Structure 1
Amino acid sequence: MALDSTTLAKVELTVMQPHPDAPKSALPLFLSKVTAGLPAQVDDTVHDYVDLNDYCLPHPESSFLLRVSGQSMLGAGIHDGDLLVVDRSSKPKSGQVVIAALDGEFTVKRLARQGQAVQLVAENPEYPSIKVRPDQMFMIWGVVTFVVHRL
């Protein structure tokens, strides 16, 4: 069975890795947390500084970014056009969102393993999940650790 691009939420494989000489930029992290419920008093004390490179790329030598194309992962908060931070050094576990290669095509899906059975689960009811058959070429490229999208 051939899988077409409407079944797979494709990722553009323009691999972007941090340049080793890229400047680091630490941003202030305030002591207060912002509530998502009722408003609360704000404390404007700077608690620390956070460099997003260090925060989002704990393994920069094995991390890269991919841009998403498709709607199959909306339920996981992954939208068309988002950037995914992918870590190749993390061992993929069932339940994690992964970048997988299946018969030469790439997709982003939630990994589901039960014994020897592997399934790539869509997070949008309009898209089917994919049961990986033993006769298919299958490889996991990495684990998605962060999603970057504009509001």
Structure 2
Amino acid sequence: MAANAPFTIVVGVDGSAQSRAAMDWAVEEARLRHGSILALTAWHYPYVSDALGQSWDYEIFRTDAQVILDEELDRVRGATVPVEGRVVQGNPGAVLVEASRGADLVAVGSRGHGGFAGLLLGSVSSQAVHHAHCPVLVFREPPARPAPV
């Protein structure tokens, strides 16, 4: 980013605990740096068709993404930093990589709601780490603490 532009953090928002942790960290970091946050929720059409030949209600994908973003923006409402939210149609990893062109940092959860539970890094966070045009901070789910004895 330009030296006179405010520090900008792009946060991938998908409703997961990891993306909420990324947003919480970004709010504090943006406050310390007198910066701003761009919260992105991406959606795309499914790659498979319905086996029964029924048509998809494609509007529901965009609507669900908007609900996820709105809930996250409501959660951080009152933050002392500017937070802009956008819903973007496209592959979430590609959307984050493109947004990274105008950012100083990308913050993303390690795994969202899709994929395999045992993976340490999901496809979206992996794509961001390998292709972003700025540093990427990946938030993992905290390890489970043993129950007190």
What range is the shorter-chain TM-score in? under 0.3
TM-score, with length taken from structure 2 = 0.24
* Higher RCO by CA contacts (8 Å cutoff, separation 6 or greater): 2
TM-score, with length taken from structure 1 = 0.23
Between Structure 1 and Structure 2, which shows a larger proportion of helix residues? 2
The higher radius of gyration belongs to 1
